[in-house]
Amino acid sequence: WIKALGPYLAGLGLKTRLLLGDATKKDNVAFIAPAAADVEAMKYVAAVAYHTWSKGPDEFRAWRDAARRLKLPLLATEVGTDAQAHQDGSYGTRHYFANELKMYQQLLLDGEVQAVLEWEYTKDYSIVDLKRGPDGKLLPTPTPRFYMIRQFASATPRPAIALDPAGNLYCVWE
């Protein structure tokens, strides 16, 4: 797919680069091996990416090591702890966020990810709801999940290197 889409986009004059992986299954670091070994495919890859569902520190380190071998940035492109939490709405609870916060810390410490992209921006797992105002226009309305994520992000000093699962901050100040 990468070898087909990369040249096609380049032929259109686009400088678009693709993600290697962006996968969710357990033990899926092996999933990227064929493309990672293909020199032609790798011309069009800018970063390694994975989803965090049902993963832990061992998988985070495996993805980190794969990205290091390829000398590419590592992205967590779907961050969440329970892919079924949308069914009962528990993704908006303090308990869910506490588990997710621990995972964020593990991602920073064990995964050394360069970016964490929250899942997701649609109705389930939303951080912003769209509601109609009195004039009928759509208004973005932050959900409790938005405020939980904002609190974590705003309480993390910059440039932070990692938070360990016990909550100890390891950082380097420039």
pLDDT band for position 26 (50/70/90)?
A: low
8 Å CB contact between 32 and 59: no
Mean pLDDT of 68-85: 90
pTM (2 d.p.): 0.79
Task: Give the model's pLDDT for residue 167.
Answer: 57
Q: Give the tens place of pLDDT for each residue, 38-69.
A: 999 999 999 999 998 878 889 999 999 999 99
Task: Give the model's pLDDT for residue 166.
Answer: 60
User: Judging by beta carbons within 10 Å of its beta carbon (0-12, 13-18, 19+), is residue 149 exposed, middle or buried?
Assistant: buried
Task: Give the model's pLDDT for residue 106.
Answer: 84
Question: How far is 149 from 147, CA to CA, in rounded Å?
Answer: 5
Our measurement of the distance from residue 110's CA atom to the centroid of its chain's CA atoms, rounded to an integer in Å, reads 14
How high does pLDDT run on average in the chain?
A: 83
What are the structure tokens assigned to 152, written together? 């974590």
Q: Give the tens place of pLDDT for each residue, 90-140.
A: 888 888 888 888 888 888 888 888 888 876 666 677 788 888 889 999 888
Task: Give the model's pLDDT for residue 13.
Answer: 95
CA separation, residue 16 to residues 4, 8, 9, 107 (Å):
13, 10, 7, 27
Beta-carbon count within 10 A of 57 CB: 14
Please list the alpha-helical segments (H only) found in 43-126. 57-70, 94-106
